[in-house]
Amino acid sequence: MRHFFTLFLALLLVGMSYAAETQKVRLTYQGFPYKRTTCEYPSYVPGDTVILAKGSPRNENGEVIVAWSYNGENYKAGSEFVMPDEDVVLVPVWADDQGIVSVQKSEVSVQKVLRDGQLIIIRDGREYNVLGGRLK
């Protein structure tokens, strides 16, 4: 029984020393300092899967972030990223606002109105509720 206990302690110590030696890498977003509540920056083990930030902030030119770039590859905001065996600095990829470029003209006129706490849809002068029931 004493041998099993000794073997268990030896394996536990080896496992703890291996865990202490495991390489950790950091992920940072260029131009966006990490806001943290702990003393250390978060770190990852190579091979960990990280979900990238989903925000779309604008820069001083009014451009929005459409992706993050690392080693020549672009990753969309909110996509998965597998950590390599080195620290990663993701560079923002900026683009103009992604609105509709051209709009086709239509003979149909639709408007949404909030009236007495209800959403009313007005289409060609007729009023409908959200479920499509005709009001007038």
The reported pLDDT for the residue numbered 56 is 73
The reported pLDDT for the residue numbered 82 is 92
pLDDT digits (tens, 9 = 90+) for 26-70: 888 887 766 656 566 778 889 999 988 887 777 788 788 888 889
Please provide the DSSP assignment of 71-117 as one string: TTEEEETT-EEE--SS-EEEEEEEE-----S-----S--EEEEEETT
**Closest to 52 measured CA to CA, from 97, 93, 85, 95:** 93
The model carries a pTM of 0.52
How sure is the predictor about 23, in pLDDT bands with cuts at 50, 70 and 90? Answer: confident
Cross-strand bridge partners of residue 118: 115
pLDDT digits (tens, 9 = 90+) for 77-92: 888 999 999 999 988 8
The reported pLDDT for the residue numbered 9 is 64
Is pLDDT of 97 > 60?
no
Q: In what order do the strands lie in the sheet with 73-76?
A: 27-29, 88-95, 64-70, 73-76
Average pLDDT of the chain, as a whole number: 77
